[in-house]
Structure 1
Amino acid sequence: MKTKLFSTLFLSILSVSAFAATITGSRVGANEKSSGFFVEAFSAKGRVLFKSLKFDQNGKFTLDFPTNEALVYWIDNFPVYVLPNQNLDIILPARQSATFVIGGSADQTAAKPTMLTEANIKINGKSEIDNLLINKIQLASADLIKEKKAALSIKEIDQQYADEAKLISKSKNPGLVSTANFYNEMHYMEVKLQYLRSHQPTNVDENFFNIIDKISLNNPAVNSLKAIGLRSLVTGYYTFWRLKEGADIKDDDLIDNGSVGKMEFLLKNVNNERLINEQLSQNIIYHLSISGWDAHLDKIMVAAIEKTTDASAKKNLIELREKYSKVSKNAIAPDFSISDVTGKLVNLSDFKGKVVAIDVWATWCIPCMHSLPYFLKLRDKYKDNPNVVFVSISTDNSKSKDKWLSFLKSKDMNGVELHAGDEKSSAFEKAYNITGIPRYILIDREGKIIEDHAPQASEPEFEKLIETALKSK
């Protein structure tokens, strides 16, 4: 029995250690006092490796990671293709601190964050064609955009793509070739998008957009991207696809990070679990924070919940749907109780039978400062109308309460001024899902929400909504 148990344990240990990539390395000029760096790796499961590495007294580091699949390791943001059981010795480029002048005086200087002295890494004792191939592709596209900028030409873009494809063909590793081709096509599309942002799309022929036919968001290589790369890919792909269909590059749908069109596109065309679990969820969350819940978005959320496979992401979407749908158009506005400048509690129910226009703001919020004068102008315009009340609710924290009071005095603000930034009143922010400011909320005379994410007071539509509500019985 003991022999059998020992054999089982031995095989278990062997199975764990049989596949372990070992990465050693150093940084030029580094020692134990040098700042460390992060290493990340991703697969279909999401991020499978996230580790902070430090240098020893000789500026060296070691990483052992057990895996039975080839992965792209993001080592200090450099993508390195590593096979199971592969040993690599990497040399990272040096980082250096710089100084900059403060206030125009040469003797007043401060240190900038450390910056890479070059944008490449090296591998000791072996060919770099395979392991650093993806890094080379990434750098080539970044350099082309940086050097050429608005002078970028289609000929140069096509030539770079051909050069990288030729380099990829030298590799004998089928898995790497497939992954590297994906990166080359992805960056080819990104550089073309950069071109379109500097030139009129009418200057290109129909073949310009053909690269999108080679890229699939369901390609397994998608899973090797970092989260920021994943987001960039989805945005770039959706934008390029819409432009091919004839959209204007300035369309709001292409600029909006929470684009409904993008969410519908993902639901219809993507089966990659990581994209659905991460990016679709993030798009929904962003949309909720900016525009709130509506019936159209609800249909998207229901479909997203059904398609999401990650239990945590699914649970979050379910909770968000319930939370935001309760505070949306035509729903009964949650009552609140918030202190005014004298400390007296003011309730929403105090304004029963009136249209309530709410401005949620803070003294530190620059966009709030831009829109606040328009809100105050409207408040002054309707001051003699007993059927509407304008309520200013500050989210300045308790430590900034004196600053808020001083601001009110300086602007001669003596209407309904409430302070929701202390613990006693923070329930308001939770109840109304306040995730960003300025935020405008309109409530009708029956206590129902007209708009939970109303247009800013600086926009004509804001007053139009108030007028419509006043005319309603």
Structure 2
Amino acid sequence: MKLKGLSFLMVVLFTLPVYAAKVRGSRVGANEKSAGFFVEAFSSKGRVLYKSIKLDENGKFEINFPSNESLVYWIDNYPVFVKPNEDLEIILPEKKSNVFVLGGDNPQKNVAATDQKGSSNIQIAGKSSINSLLISEIETSWGNFVKEKKGLQTIEEINGQYLLATKLIKNSKDIEINKYASFYNNFRLLESKIQYLRMHPDVKSDKSYFDVLNRISLNDQAINSLKIIGLRALISNYYAFLKLSLGAKISDDDLSDNGSIGKMEYLLKNVSAERVINEELNQSIIYHLSIKGWSPELDKVMVIAIEKITDTATKKNLTELREKYSKVSKNTIAPAFSIPDASGKMVSLNDFKGKVIAIDVWATWCIPCMHSLPFFLKLRDKYKNNQDVVFVSISTDNAKSKDKWISFLKSKGMNGVDLHAGDESATPFEKAYNITGIPRYILIDKQGKIIEDHAPQASEPEYEALIQTALQTK
């Protein structure tokens, strides 16, 4: 009987969560009426915690999270390194302050505080607590440096800041946390160096300038701890810095394009980190589709990406997007549409059979549209006597803004083919042509095939050149 009882106890113990991290604390001068905050945590699977935290009547809070791995908790935007089974008590500063305090029952006991340049001024109490805030120290140190220099830092000052942050890391004896802190330090160094090159595009740098690339890997476990915006920034900066080290120019489109095919091909070939593939590669593809549309080059990327992505929902979404966008792309038959004009008369794509059709998708609230629309109207006036081309403006203003749209047409003297796709009966146009951003320019040839589904803006010389080429084609 005793053996059976012991076996039962062992089963119970092994079915309970073995790891449970706890973060508790309070905010100085706060109560239940004070604003709360959000806490986030990330792993290789992506975001594993996103929670709104409210304070009780004493300004206190508690966060419990079972985990079998060390995680960086972003608590009110402060990165705190938390290990399994760890119990941390923190004291958040008043909202107006950037000071962050970590402590136990007596925050004034064994306090390690410093006012030196670059410090985050964090007061720390407890034997292991100093390590938990090491990443916060690094982030704040770099943040203060950038704020102080206002983008005018020299290379010597950037290297000096790196060494200062490195000294902070050397004060810690925790190998695991030090690896994460070093990753953040190298990330910020790379970020500052590439920013310097953007500010000084004519500067010639030797190979040693790019040495930080040897200290950063996009497969590093620490990359999983970054918030989404930080992950995106790191990958873009890393790829651009790498290309610059190989002789690229800072002005190259491949370096500034968030949906660069070159960057996506690099990730597919060199990165195995699950979160990078599932999140960043996926977002790069979606961004590219929304800005430039589908192409055979992108399709090759999508096929491999769909195979490598492990998240089921993401894989399914990309598969559907691939099919959807490939149907409305260069050389495909333009989807039919029927949209009302200002008088309510329905105008169909078929009405312009045998003509080159130049479409401008816009809205009265869209500032970039307002900058580009005059160029479109100028071209419409230039070709008004050419029976082989028609310029069609299609507004996506919603139904409630239709009167505003009509008034705008009158104020600008727009009396050509101007349609309103914001009515409920016309919204299928936006779905058919995958309108996810405006202004959007679409060119259709005399045979009803799409010349470009994401054509250059009307302000660009390439736009009229495409129209001229289409007019000369029988």
TM-score when scaled to structure 2?
Answer: 0.91
Q: 1:173 to 1:352 in 2, by over 3 A?
A: same
Which residue in the other structure is 2:292 paired with?
Answer: 291
Q: 1:377 to 1:163 in 2, by over 3 A?
A: closer
Q: Does the CA-based 8 Å contact 1:145-1:194 persist in structure 2?
A: no
Q: How does 1:203-218 map to 2 (within 5 A)?
A: 204-218=205-219
Return the alpha-carbon distance in structure 2 between the equivalents of residues 38 and 270 of structure 1: 30
Return the alpha-carbon distance in structure 1 between the equivalents of residues 214 and 78 of structure 2: 28
Shift of 1:295: 1.0
Q: Does the CA-based 8 Å contact 1:31-1:56 persist in structure 2?
A: yes
Question: Does 2:137 correspond to 1:136?
Answer: yes
Question: Does 2:98 correspond to 1:118?
Answer: yes
Which residue in the other structure is 1:153 paired with?
Answer: 154
1:50 counterpart letter in structure 2: Y
Which residue in the other structure is 1:409 paired with?
Answer: 410
Shift of 1:161: 2.1
Which residue in the other structure is 1:339 paired with?
Answer: 340
Which SS does the other structure have where 1:358 is aligned? strand
Which residue in the other structure is 1:300 paired with?
Answer: 301
2:458 counterpart letter in structure 1: A
Which residue in the other structure is 1:465 paired with?
Answer: 466
Return the alpha-carbon distance in structure 2 between the equivalents of residues 78 and 337 of structure 1: 53
Gaps of 5+ in 1: 97-116
Return the alpha-carbon distance in structure 2 between the equivalents of residues 414 and 4 of structure 1: 89
1:73 counterpart letter in structure 2: Y
Shift of 1:361: 0.7
Question: Does 2:63 correspond to 1:63?
Answer: yes
Shift of 1:176: 1.3
Q: 1:200 to 1:472 in 2, by over 3 A?
A: closer
Return the alpha-carbon distance in structure 2 between the equivalents of residues 296 and 50 of structure 1: 36
2:20 counterpart letter in structure 1: A
Any idea what the Cα deviations from partners look like across 1:426-464, whole Å, max 9, x if unmatched? Answer: 000000000011111110110000010111111121111
Which SS does the other structure have where 1:129 is aligned? helix
Q: Does the CA-based 8 Å contact 1:16-1:66 persist in structure 2?
A: no
Return the alpha-carbon distance in structure 1 between the equivalents of residues 165 and 464 of structure 2: 56
Which residue in the other structure is 1:107 paired with?
Answer: none
Return the alpha-carbon distance in structure 2 between the equivalents of residues 275 and 5 of structure 1: 47
Any idea what the Cα deviations from partners look like across 1:374-393, whole Å, max 9, x if unmatched? Answer: 11111112112111111111
Which residue in the other structure is 1:112 paired with?
Answer: none
Shift of 1:203: 5.0
Return the alpha-carbon distance in structure 1 between the equivalents of residues 152 and 431 of structure 2: 49
Q: Does the CA-based 8 Å contact 2:201-2:250 persist in structure 1?
A: no
2:42 counterpart letter in structure 1: F
Which SS does the other structure have where 1:72 is aligned? strand
Which residue in the other structure is 1:196 paired with?
Answer: 197
Return the alpha-carbon distance in structure 1 between the equivalents of residues 433 and 309 of structure 2: 26
Q: 1:413 to 1:18 in 2, by over 3 A?
A: same
Which SS does the other structure have where 2:38 is aligned? strand
Q: How does 1:298-377 map to 2 (within 5 A)?
A: 298-377=299-378
Shift of 1:202: 2.7
2:71 counterpart letter in structure 1: L
Shift of 1:313: 1.1
Of 372-381 and 165-174, deviating more is 165-174
Q: Does the CA-based 8 Å contact 2:169-2:181 persist in structure 1?
A: yes
2:102 counterpart letter in structure 1: K
2:244 counterpart letter in structure 1: L
Any idea what the Cα deviations from partners look like across 1:136-160, whole Å, max 9, x if unmatched? Answer: 1111111111112344122332233
1:77 counterpart letter in structure 2: N
Provide the identity percentage: 63
Gaps of 5+ in 2: 105-124
Q: Does the CA-based 8 Å contact 1:141-1:191 persist in structure 2?
A: no
Shift of 1:199: 3.0
Q: 1:77 to 1:449 in 2, by over 3 A?
A: same
Any idea what the Cα deviations from partners look like across 1:385-432, whole Å, max 9, x if unmatched? Answer: 111111111100000000011111111111111110021100000000
Which residue in the other structure is 1:34 paired with?
Answer: 34
Any idea what the Cα deviations from partners look like across 1:200-226, whole Å, max 9, x if unmatched? Answer: 463543211101111100011111111
Q: Does the CA-based 8 Å contact 2:359-2:442 persist in structure 1?
A: yes
Shift of 1:8: 5.6
Return the alpha-carbon distance in structure 2 between the equivalents of residues 231 and 146 of structure 1: 21
Q: 1:138 to 1:388 in 2, by over 3 A?
A: same
Which residue in the other structure is 1:104 paired with?
Answer: none
Shift of 1:178: 1.7
Return the alpha-carbon distance in structure 2 between the equivalents of residues 5 and 286 of structure 1: 59
Any idea what the Cα deviations from partners look like across 1:292-321, whole Å, max 9, x if unmatched? Answer: 111111111111112111111111111111
Which SS does the other structure have where 1:95 is aligned? coil
Which residue in the other structure is 1:265 paired with?
Answer: 266
1:183 counterpart letter in structure 2: Y
TM-score when scaled to structure 1?
Answer: 0.91
Shift of 1:235: 0.9
Of 123-132 and 286-295, deviating more is 123-132
Q: Does the CA-based 8 Å contact 1:93-1:118 persist in structure 2?
A: yes
* Deviation >6 Å, runs of 4+: 3-7
Return the alpha-carbon distance in structure 2 between the equivalents of residues 13 and 229 of structure 1: 39
Which residue in the other structure is 2:115 paired with?
Answer: none
Return the alpha-carbon distance in structure 1 between the equivalents of residues 431 and 437 of structure 2: 12
Which SS does the other structure have where 2:39 is aligned? strand
Shift of 1:6: 11
2:326 counterpart letter in structure 1: S
Which SS does the other structure have where 2:336 is aligned? coil
Which residue in the other structure is 2:20 paired with?
Answer: 20
Q: 1:66 to 1:207 in 2, by over 3 A?
A: same
1:446 counterpart letter in structure 2: Q
Which residue in the other structure is 2:77 paired with?
Answer: 77
Any idea what the Cα deviations from partners look like across 1:104-141, whole Å, max 9, x if unmatched? Answer: xxxxxxxxxxxxx2253433341443000011111111
2:443 counterpart letter in structure 1: L
Any idea what the Cα deviations from partners look like across 1:318-355, whole Å, max 9, x if unmatched? Answer: 11110000000000000001111111211101111111
Which residue in the other structure is 1:99 paired with?
Answer: none
Q: 1:458 to 1:203 in 2, by over 3 A?
A: closer
Q: Does the CA-based 8 Å contact 1:119-1:139 persist in structure 2?
A: no
Return the alpha-carbon distance in structure 2 between the equivalents of residues 390 and 218 of structure 1: 50
Q: Does the CA-based 8 Å contact 1:29-1:94 persist in structure 2?
A: yes
Return the alpha-carbon distance in structure 2 between the equivalents of residues 293 and 12 of structure 1: 54
Shift of 1:52: 0.9
